[in-house]
Chain A
């Protein structure tokens, strides 16, 4: 069996989208100075909420809306714990990942053998007719386009807008931002809601498009990859896209290679996306983390 490059590249984009969505959300959260290790939990919560909503309403749109709400819900819990009760961000994030995995397994129990509406493709008129490129880039579902728009919007927001500047300032030095009269907790709360919603969308993209079925532990570590990509991409949206597509690319490629029956043990092929992503992003990295990342903010005196 041969590998068709056009189908492969189209598959790369599908494989990358969940990670790209989760990572762009986490990038905003970390630029605001919060280290949210609960991405995996928010993704899987989004995956199960999205699946159930889509299954019950037979609407993919409502499915994704439910996924965003589910992810944002877990993020709101994280925000309450870390911003109001001032719990440790690392421990809270890990706990919420475990919580999300357990919760998703429980509420998803009855849905394991069900089916779900398929998400319609939206070929972009005109552009999708370009030979090759049209199939690769312009014949996808709305969420793929949304993920690209989100990355561009986040890039523009952080770079050009006043609120983006305030968010970066809060992530860089929350004491100083507080001294200038900015609302550290409020900004972080909204950043977390955005991050949670993005992670939820990413999770639902796995359960509604890539698989599309409900199985336990369906995200299988995609949230961790998203977290790693944010750090390796030096908290820059441009590099984030590179990292996410690289990971998706090697994932899709190794699946294709497995299908061709090449004499490489499957285990090595399954490892390859992780190794390739880490290698390339290590070579690219050299950025500096936001100054207040992971530190608990307490408006004392």
Chain B
């Protein structure tokens, strides 16, 4: 057996009302890629934050290279050789690449020397990066490179990666894996957090599975199937959504013709000349790396961002210049990505949140006065139909867990029986069981005759539910193709990784 680098014993951390980690044992060997698996809220993040010195454990202890290890802050963790790439990039958008990297180092050299070093490391690991660019202008994949290079410059003994592939194209994932294998060959241990099971099977040597803060299993991911791992994570058998094969083509529901719009804010993406037709009864999947115009497209479709009237046509009626509620009345409903603050107002109750988008179609107010009983009964209907776990309709939206609130905001739109439904990242940050329920609801809606546009970073999700697939890249939409005819490689190229990839030469 190889040498153990980091050992955790009986690690426990409780927050008011919830035990995030309870008696967690974990051992990571040198030169091993170790997967940490679990649902949302299983305690993965808390565990790695403890290792990285951001969270102080209540009980238990850690040893690093045989010595007791109790980092007071991230600096202490970095000092012994632990580096971390965060799930939500901890980068400073208005600063340059080299400034960002300097901030992650204890004793950075001069900016010029550091820029040279960055170029050298990015060459060695096949991660091309210009040190002088402003981070706000970089793609998600490039931003991740900044984080990785920041870690590599410290020559880490243990590299922690929190869901690194959730925002990458398949090609970028391949480059990342090549880099990680190269690091492993050099003896670096990697703690890899993900819930993409196929990736873990492709990359990792060992897996530790957490459920509700406890270690429920250790396994060798090469030896067990993805389905078995998923069931260990969830603790029960999973059902995949059922998809009916579409036999006949419905009427044209939504037409986008030459939809263009300038970027609504700094570091946004302009929409460029988008043409699209969606028929009733079909699910159109739109993939793309984050920041390629997804939010802007949803804003244009929902009416948050007004465009020329003829650019968007709903059953032949020009609606591009109409505000959101007028579009809702006509049957075009949208659920934006960010549930806390965009799709839902965190400090309002579920009833009030239901009222906000459903008033136009469901008539929840009269003469400007809210019809509370009716609004409440609509909210209860959503809660009941979509299995939202909440004690009552008067609970604040922020009090719900991510998955529950997501079920609520999607259900709220679906129960209005929209003719066209636009949804962005329907299952982002939602656990597997809730995600399956949401996908099934989207499929049922389409089967009932609605046209659905589903925008997602999760390609597996789009493959599963969409009839046709199109990709957003730099604000342009590729022509849609039937999903069944596409291979993962073709999709990767559609996502427009191509121009980004040519410069990447990975030395084995």
Binding site for B on A (CB under 8 A): 162, 165-166, 168-169, 172-173, 175-177, 179-182, 288, 290-291, 301
Instruction: Point out the residues of chain A lying under 8 angstroms from B94, CB to CB.
Output: 168, 172, 288, 290-291
Instruction: Point out the residues of chain A lying under 8 angstroms from B108, CB to CB.
Output: 162
Measured in the bound complex, the distance between the Cα atoms of B99 and A175 in whole Å is 17
Nearest chain A CB to B193 CB, angstrom units: 16
Are A169 and B92 closer than 8 Å at their CB atoms?
Answer: yes
Are B103 and A173 closer than 8 Å at their CB atoms?
Answer: no
Best-buried of A162, A176, A288 by chain B (most CB within 10 Å): A176
> Knowing A165-B102, A180-B103, A288-B266 touch, does A175 contact B92 (C-beta < 8 A)?
no
Q: Known A-B contacts: A172-B95, A173-B91, A180-B103. Give 17 more (CB < 8 A).
A: A162-B102, A166-B103, A168-B94, A168-B95, A172-B93, A173-B90, A173-B93, A176-B91, A179-B54, A180-B74, A180-B90, A180-B104, A181-B74, A288-B94, A288-B266, A291-B94, A301-B55
Nearest chain B CB to A291 CB, angstrom units: 6
Q: Which of A165, A179, A288 contacts B74 (CB 8 A)?
A: A179
Could you name 6 residue pairs across A and B whose Cβ atoms are closer than 8 Å? Answer: A169-B99, A176-B91, A176-B92, A180-B103, A181-B73, A291-B94
Count, A-B residue pairs, CB within 8 A: 53
Query: B85-120: which have CB < 8 Å to A?
Result: 86, 90-95, 99, 102-104, 108
Binding site for A on B (CB under 8 A): 15, 46, 49, 53-55, 73-75, 78, 86, 90-95, 99, 102-104, 108, 266
Instruction: Point out the residues of chain A lying under 8 angstroms from B92, CB to CB.
Output: 168-169, 172-173, 176-177, 291
Instruction: Point out the residues of chain B lying under 8 angstroms from A291, CB to CB.
Output: 92-94
Instruction: Point out the residues of chain B lying under 8 angstroms from A175, CB to CB.
Output: 90
Measured in the bound complex, the distance between the Cα atoms of B86 and A173 in whole Å is 14
Instruction: Point out the residues of chain B lying under 8 angstroms from A288, CB to CB.
Output: 94, 266
Measured in the bound complex, the distance between the Cα atoms of B49 and A297 in whole Å is 19
Measured in the bound complex, the distance between the Cα atoms of B100 and A168 in whole Å is 11
Instruction: Point out the residues of chain A lying under 8 angstroms from B55, CB to CB.
Output: 301
> Knowing A165-B102, A179-B74, A181-B74 touch, does A301 contact B95 (C-beta < 8 A)?
no
Are B266 and A176 closer than 8 Å at their CB atoms?
Answer: no
Nearest chain B CB to A139 CB, angstrom units: 40
Sort A-B residue pairs by CB-CB distance and give the 9 closest, nearest first.
A176-B90, A181-B74, A172-B92, A181-B75, A179-B90, A181-B73, A169-B92, A173-B92, A172-B94
Measured in the bound complex, the distance between the Cα atoms of B78 and A173 in whole Å is 20
Instruction: Point out the residues of chain B lying under 8 angstroms from A301, CB to CB.
Output: 15, 46, 49, 54-55
Instruction: Point out the residues of chain B lying under 8 angstroms from A173, CB to CB.
Output: 90-93
Nearest chain A CB to B151 CB, angstrom units: 12
Select from chain A the residue with minimum beta-carbon distance to B105. A180
Nearest chain A CB to B252 CB, angstrom units: 41
Instruction: Point out the residues of chain A lying under 8 angstroms from B90, CB to CB.
Output: 173, 175-176, 179-180
Measured in the bound complex, the distance between the Cα atoms of B86 and A162 in whole Å is 23
Measured in the bound complex, the distance between the Cα atoms of B134 and A291 in whole Å is 14
Best-buried of B15, B73, B103 by chain A (most CB within 10 Å): B103
Measured in the bound complex, the distance between the Cα atoms of B95 and A290 in whole Å is 11
Instruction: Point out the residues of chain A lying under 8 angstroms from B95, CB to CB.
Output: 165, 168-169, 172
Instruction: Point out the residues of chain B lying under 8 angstroms from A290, CB to CB.
Output: 94
Are A165 and B104 closer than 8 Å at their CB atoms?
Answer: no
Are B86 and A165 closer than 8 Å at their CB atoms?
Answer: no
Measured in the bound complex, the distance between the Cα atoms of B91 and A182 in whole Å is 13
Instruction: Point out the residues of chain B lying under 8 angstroms from A182, CB to CB.
Output: 103
Nearest chain B CB to A144 CB, angstrom units: 32
Nearest chain A CB to B384 CB, angstrom units: 33
Measured in the bound complex, the distance between the Cα atoms of B15 and A106 in whole Å is 49
Instruction: Point out the residues of chain B lying under 8 angstroms from A168, CB to CB.
Output: 92, 94-95
Are B103 and A179 closer than 8 Å at their CB atoms?
Answer: no
Nearest chain A CB to B321 CB, angstrom units: 28
Instruction: Point out the residues of chain A lying under 8 angstroms from B49, CB to CB.
Output: 301
Select from chain A the residue with minimum beta-carbon distance to B77. A181
Are A179 and B86 closer than 8 Å at their CB atoms?
Answer: yes
Nearest chain A CB to B481 CB, angstrom units: 39
Nearest chain A CB to B336 CB, angstrom units: 21
Measured in the bound complex, the distance between the Cα atoms of B46 and A165 in whole Å is 29
Select from chain B the residue with minimum beta-carbon distance to A235. B94
Select from chain B the residue with minimum beta-carbon distance to A172. B92
Instruction: Point out the residues of chain B lying under 8 angstroms from A180, CB to CB.
Output: 74, 90, 103-104
Measured in the bound complex, the distance between the Cα atoms of B75 and A172 in whole Å is 20
Measured in the bound complex, the distance between the Cα atoms of B49 and A168 in whole Å is 25
Select from chain A the residue with minimum beta-carbon distance to B102. A165
Nearest chain A CB to B253 CB, angstrom units: 39
Measured in the bound complex, the distance between the Cα atoms of B86 and A177 in whole Å is 13
Measured in the bound complex, the distance between the Cα atoms of B95 and A291 in whole Å is 11
Select from chain A the residue with minimum beta-carbon distance to B71. A181
Measured in the bound complex, the distance between the Cα atoms of B95 and A169 in whole Å is 8
Measured in the bound complex, the distance between the Cα atoms of B53 and A290 in whole Å is 27
Instruction: Point out the residues of chain A lying under 8 angstroms from B266, CB to CB.
Output: 288
Nearest chain B CB to A300 CB, angstrom units: 10
Instruction: Point out the residues of chain B lying under 8 angstroms from A166, CB to CB.
Output: 103
Nearest chain A CB to B301 CB, angstrom units: 27
Measured in the bound complex, the distance between the Cα atoms of B15 and A179 in whole Å is 19
Best-buried of B49, B86, B94, B266 by chain A (most CB within 10 Å): B94
Measured in the bound complex, the distance between the Cα atoms of B484 and A75 in whole Å is 64
Select from chain B the residue with minimum beta-carbon distance to A175. B90
Measured in the bound complex, the distance between the Cα atoms of B75 and A166 in whole Å is 15
Instruction: Point out the residues of chain B lying under 8 angstroms from A176, CB to CB.
Output: 90-92
Measured in the bound complex, the distance between the Cα atoms of B9 and A48 in whole Å is 62
Measured in the bound complex, the distance between the Cα atoms of B108 and A177 in whole Å is 16
Instruction: Point out the residues of chain A lying under 8 angstroms from B15, CB to CB.
Output: 301
Are B103 and A165 closer than 8 Å at their CB atoms?
Answer: yes
Measured in the bound complex, the distance between the Cα atoms of B230 and A256 in whole Å is 80
Instruction: Point out the residues of chain B lying under 8 angstroms from A165, CB to CB.
Output: 95, 99, 102-103
Nearest chain A CB to B340 CB, angstrom units: 15
Measured in the bound complex, the distance between the Cα atoms of B89 and A179 in whole Å is 11
Are B54 and A169 closer than 8 Å at their CB atoms?
Answer: no
Measured in the bound complex, the distance between the Cα atoms of B143 and A46 in whole Å is 45
Instruction: Point out the residues of chain A lying under 8 angstroms from B78, CB to CB.
Output: 181
Nearest chain A CB to B267 CB, angstrom units: 9
Measured in the bound complex, the distance between the Cα atoms of B104 and A165 in whole Å is 11
Nearest chain B CB to A277 CB, angstrom units: 24
Measured in the bound complex, the distance between the Cα atoms of B385 and A60 in whole Å is 76
Measured in the bound complex, the distance between the Cα atoms of B204 and A92 in whole Å is 52
Select from chain B the residue with minimum beta-carbon distance to A165. B99
Instruction: Point out the residues of chain A lying under 8 angstroms from B53, CB to CB.
Output: 181
Measured in the bound complex, the distance between the Cα atoms of B54 and A177 in whole Å is 12
Select from chain A the residue with minimum beta-carbon distance to B13. A301
Nearest chain A CB to B93 CB, angstrom units: 6
Measured in the bound complex, the distance between the Cα atoms of B267 and A288 in whole Å is 11
